[in-house]
Structure 1
Amino acid sequence: MAFNFFRGQTAQVIQWDAPQPSQLLWQFPSPHDEIKNASQLLVGPSQGVLLVYEGRVAEVLDTEGLYQLRTDNHPFITTLLKLRTGFESEHKLKLYFYRRAENVNQPWGTAAPVKYLDPVYQVPVELGAHGNFSFRLADARRFFTEVAGLAEAYSVLQAKLLLQSRIAQTLATQLATAGLSYQQLDAHLTVLAEQLRTPLAAEFARLGMELTDFRLTGTVFDAVTQQRIGRVADAAATTQAAATAGLSYAELEKLHALRDAARNASGLAGAGAQLGAGAELARQLSASASPTPPDPAEQLQKLKQLLDAGVITAEEFAAKKKEWLDKW
């Protein structure tokens, strides 16, 4: 009993001799938070130490080496004077070791879909994004005060999850101002990652962290967004085909309806619908022509575009082609 008591009052070498890559912050265990005079503090490579004296961060040691500690605890005098308080000193010193090395290739992904308005199609888009980043503990005092507090340990995983939570909101803000459409994102991942790095670095710094690398490796769009964009893209392609042929979107849709009726009907009704489609096509092309006699080559080009867009059938194209060639 007496041996253990006096052993607690002697000087010691304080070190973090078995740090794990998964640990970011570790409190040196001391039963009564009493570090005695003449104790030596060994700070290893890529390590740092926080000295929390009487409840506040008194000093940050971020250079490796051997330090001599002097506190207000005098081993034997303190023991004699503090008999009524269980031999504890009123002067408390806690030591926290932290990892200064870079934590590389930490994978990240958005936990919930990021929503923004597509600048080209003007429809709401929901997407997930993923990548990786690297960071290191740069401001130990700020990190201890703002994040870790008096926890006995803090892991790299805890820090990663905290930092990752800042990425989604920053990504949504950047997408809203980047002007990139659904179809352009994958081709601009590197540029977008660089644009995200500056605001993310500021967010990390507020937590005492330094963002050393950030990568955006891919995006994933939900099924609803893909269907919505697909419908809009189809309508845009049809509108472009109609404009090239000198027709409005409504006129082109009318031809689509006549064509479908001709394909789905049977007997005389189908034949009548087919004739109606041909007559409507002739009327639309004639109406879109200028007062001067139409150029047969131009009309054939328009017919080919309508055929490629699936507006008219091969039979309709052949019939109208023969008609215009006869006029040539």
Structure 2
Amino acid sequence: MSTPTSKFPFLEVIEWVEHDPNIMMWKVADGDKEIKNGAKLIVRESQSVLFLNEGTIADIFASGTYTLHTQNIPLLSRLKGWKYGFESPFKADVYYFSVKQFVNLKWGTPAPIILRDTQFGQVRVRAFGTYNVRITDLGKFFKEYAGTYHQLTIHEFEQQLRDFIAPQFGEALAGSRISVLDIAGNISILNKKITPLIQPYFNEFGIEITQFTVTSATLPDEVTQYYDKITGMNMVGSDSDKFQKFNTAIAISQEGNPIQQGTQQGVALGVLMGQANSGITNDAKDESAIKLQKIKSLFENGLIDESEYKAKKAEILSKL
């Protein structure tokens, strides 16, 4: 915006050269100066302008260059204080808006969302993602959100909406009736279902969601363990004997710490899968399983210590 000198006490050229790409709205700092009849209003691409007179929206301008006369701003001429038809300077608050896309905004669930699932009952789910937005209705955005600001950045807007998105996402997710197992495995499908459910809440602010993405969904440990078990069962196939041995190996492997457990499960499963092609007899496999159960019982009853138990278990597994 040009800076008037004492010789030109009125605003003659009104413009905004955007230096900060994060600004959504900026009020022209007029210093209580009036706008000169015939002043130039410059609105660049990706900008829009709103004129406010005594708290009432007077007019909105898209990109272009305008000469401020009554004939091209008919709404202004009908408001209180415009009886002179711009023959003399006039006063108005001028707000610039950036109507480009603001991208890669972050959202997340600060607390787990509780969902009802037909298979697991009540389940706690955390989710995180990104979204892109743009202002599509200046009047609504100004009235419902931005009217009290002299300058508004996307960071302030994002912070305000972060707490707003989480519960709306929870309601949308619950209403979509997506199984909790499908959340982890079908993120792209979830994105398509959630976006139209979230958009109506943004419409109230004059905002359009151009993209809404769920980047990750964290399920409870018990659900993840169940999912891993189903995956392991699918790997073993329909052979009930293999599946029984797989469950035995999984149960035994729970003795270690959480990091060891995952490794042991993979080793046990690999051993059992390898047996299908190794020619080891069922009798040998049954004998090893019995030995593992016996040393586990000895350890639980305090007849051998932990180091002896682990060493013996490793020895039996090495022979499979």
TM bracket (short chain): 0.5 to 0.7
* 1:139 pairs with one of 134, 137, 140: 137
Q: Which residue of 1 aligns with 2:58?
A: 58
SS at match of 2:213: strand
* 2:221 pairs with one of 226, 246, 253: 226
Contact 2:109–2:128 (CA under 8 A) maintained in structure 1: yes
Letter of the 1:212 counterpart = T
TM-score (norm 2): 0.62
Alignment RMSD, CA only? Answer: 4.0
SS at match of 2:221: helix
Q: Which residue of 1 aligns with 2:101?
A: 102
**Range moving further from structure 2, 126-135 or 174-183:** 174-183
Q: Which residue of 2 aligns with 1:14?
A: 14
Alpha-carbon shift at residue 188 of structure 1 (Å):
1.2
SS at match of 1:18: coil
Letter of the 1:110 counterpart = T
Report Cα offsets for 1:19-76 as digits up to 9, x if no partner: 42100000011111521212110001110000102221111112333333557498xx
Alpha-carbon shift at residue 183 of structure 1 (Å):
3.0
Letter of the 2:290 counterpart = T
Report Cα offsets for 1:291-324 as digits up to 9, x if no partner: xxxxxxxxxxxxx8xx89xxx62699xxxxxxxx
SS at match of 2:215: strand
Q: Which residue of 1 aligns with 2:153?
A: 155
* 2:290 pairs with one of 313, 317, 328: 313
Residue 67 to residue 209, structure 1, CA distance change in 2 (3 Å): farther
Residue 232 to residue 202, structure 1, CA distance change in 2 (3 Å): closer
Q: Distance in 1 between matches of 2:148 and 2:32?
A: 15
Q: Distance in 2 between matches of 1:51 and 1:200?
A: 31
Q: For structure 2, which runs of at least 5 residues remain unmatched after alignment?
A: 71-75, 77-81, 234-238, 253-281, 294-320
Q: Distance in 2 between matches of 1:50 and 1:153?
A: 14
SS at match of 1:39: strand
Letter of the 1:27 counterpart = K
Q: How does 1:232-247 map to 2 (within 5 A)?
A: none
Q: Distance in 2 between matches of 1:182 and 1:314?
A: 39
Structure possessing the higher radius of gyration over alpha carbons: 1
Alpha-carbon shift at residue 143 of structure 1 (Å):
0.4
Q: Distance in 2 between matches of 1:4 and 1:174?
A: 56
Q: Distance in 1 between matches of 2:224 and 2:35?
A: 66
**Range moving further from structure 2, 65-74 or 134-143:** 65-74
SS at match of 1:183: helix
Q: Distance in 2 between matches of 1:61 and 1:95?
A: 11
Q: Which residue of 1 aligns with 2:92?
A: 93
Q: Which residue of 2 aligns with 1:46?
A: 46
Contact 2:173–2:194 (CA under 8 A) maintained in structure 1: no
SS at match of 1:38: strand
Alpha-carbon shift at residue 159 of structure 1 (Å):
2.1
Q: Distance in 1 between matches of 2:92 and 2:51?
A: 7
Report Cα offsets for 1:162-208 as digits up to 9, x if no partner: 33333222322233244444433221111111111112111111101
Letter of the 2:154 counterpart = V
Q: How does 1:160-175 map to 2 (within 5 A)?
A: 160-175=158-173
Contact 2:23–2:152 (CA under 8 A) maintained in structure 1: yes
Q: How does 1:125-136 map to 2 (within 5 A)?
A: 125-136=123-134
Q: Distance in 2 between matches of 1:41 and 1:232?
A: 62
Contact 2:114–2:123 (CA under 8 A) maintained in structure 1: yes
Q: For structure 1, which runs of at least 5 residues remain unmatched after alignment?
A: 79-88, 239-243, 246-251, 261-303, 317-328
Contact 1:47–1:64 (CA under 8 A) maintained in structure 2: no
TM-score (norm 1): 0.61
Residue 178 to residue 73, structure 1, CA distance change in 2 (3 Å): closer
Residue 233 to residue 215, structure 1, CA distance change in 2 (3 Å): closer
Report Cα offsets for 1:278-297 as digits up to 9, x if no partner: xxxxxxxxxxxxxxxxxxxx
Letter of the 1:313 counterpart = I
Letter of the 1:45 counterpart = E
SS at match of 1:166: helix
Letter of the 2:29 counterpart = P
* 1:212 pairs with one of 205, 210, 213: 210
Q: Distance in 1 between matches of 2:211 and 2:16?
A: 28
Q: Which residue of 2 aligns with 1:115?
A: 114
Q: Which residue of 2 aligns with 1:31?
A: 31
Q: Distance in 1 between matches of 2:292 and 2:198?
A: 60
